[in-house]
Amino acid sequence: MSELTINIYTNPSHLPKGLHEENIFHSRQYFLLAKNTPRLKPYMVTVETGDHVIIAQMLALIRYRASWIPPYLYRHCMILGEGVYDSDYAEQRAELFGMMLEQLTAKIGRWTLYIEVSHLSSKMFAYKQLRERHFFPVRWNSIHNSLHSRTPEERINDRLLRHIKSSYERGVITDEVKSEEDFISFMKLMRRHNRLKPKRYIPADEFFRGLHESENGCLYVTRYHGHIIGCSALVYSENQAYLWYAAYRRKTFAFLHPADITIWHAIKDSYSKGYEHIYFMDVGLPFRKNAFREFLLRFGGKPASSYRWFHCTIGWINSLLSWFYRD
């Protein structure tokens, strides 16, 4: 592959023609969305032939994170999935991925605390290439629901179905964000729900507004007599649905089961639109006992073991963590 070149773009006006758009997480659309969001900086990495044909592309986002309580300030890089590859180079996907990752690490490593790679298509994808570039794997969990062959109602138990029906009978509804007031309520609940969960990164308002205005995303709110008791953000790509963010008022409106209704609507809505699966982007930390993971599995989802790969740019810390998380 000596005739191939690797390029990294950070300016929208410099993005090359011919970028693949089928995978939203590595698309020009997502690049522009991140570029217009405060505290996000996109890096589009491409592998191009001598005549400038793009055979591989990968989008990485730098997230700037800061807080007063607890106090911290750093930036980290997030990569969702392995990228997009030309079908003629399908057998070289892992090698191309490793090449792009190496160039990206060299460019951003000095000013970034750590790099995280998640949601790879298979657990062992590019294992060798990631290890060679000093990434270490952390065992993780993933959950997705099939939306074909059986209806969502056939995949849940009677007790959960009764809770859902009871909430609807009491007047709970879920629909799209329709107004600025809805959007403000959506963001208020999303931030309040995740305020004490530092692992969960909630982008600035501009990100969610842009996602809702795009063809590949939608924001929903769960209402009860004028109160917003739940919200969710979904994105659609390659005939799959992804529940990216969700929040609920579980304590105040416990009798209405707002979490159940919010998740259920995401599943039902994706089913009605004909998507093959719905993937839950965040199922909590990989502890043996995880209440949120068990909650999601109640909806008939399929658990799967996966890896998330990390690389800390502080050498001795990365070596220590690599030893701790050794296979």
Which amino acid is residue 85, in one-letter code? Y
164 and 271 fall within a common domain: yes
* Residue that finishes a domain, picked among 133, 152, 181: 133
- Residue 5 has φ and ψ, to the nearest 5°, of -125, 150
The CB density around residue 172, as the number of other CB atoms within 10 Å, is: 24
Q: What is residue 262's predicted lDDT score, i.e. its pLDDT?
A: 97
Regions in the chain scoring below 50 on pLDDT: none
Is 312 part of a structural domain of the chain? no
Number of domains in the chain: 2
Q: What is residue 3's predicted lDDT score, i.e. its pLDDT?
A: 87
164 and 293 fall within a common domain: yes
Residue whose pair of structure tokens reads 């959007």 in the numeric block: 183
117 and 164 fall within a common domain: no
Q: What is residue 69's predicted lDDT score, i.e. its pLDDT?
A: 58
Is 326 part of a structural domain of the chain? no
Q: Please, what is the average pLDDT of the chain?
A: 94
Q: What is residue 1's predicted lDDT score, i.e. its pLDDT?
A: 60
- Residue whose C-alpha is closest to residue 4's, from 56, 58, 43, 44: 56
Is 138 part of a structural domain of the chain? no
- The boundaries of the domain holding residue 245 are 143-305
183 and 73 fall within a common domain: no
237 and 171 fall within a common domain: yes
Is 192 part of a structural domain of the chain? yes
33 and 154 fall within a common domain: no
94 and 164 fall within a common domain: no
- Whole-angstrom Cα distance, residue 327 to residue 321? 12
Instruction: Please say whether the beta carbons of 127 and 274 come within 8 A.
Output: no
- Whole-angstrom Cα distance, residue 258 to residue 261? 5
Those residues whose C-beta lies under 8 Å from the C-beta of residue 195, and which sit 6 or more positions away, are none
Is 154 part of a structural domain of the chain? yes
103 and 191 fall within a common domain: no
Which two three-digit tokens encode residue 286? Answer: 């990989």
74 and 150 fall within a common domain: no
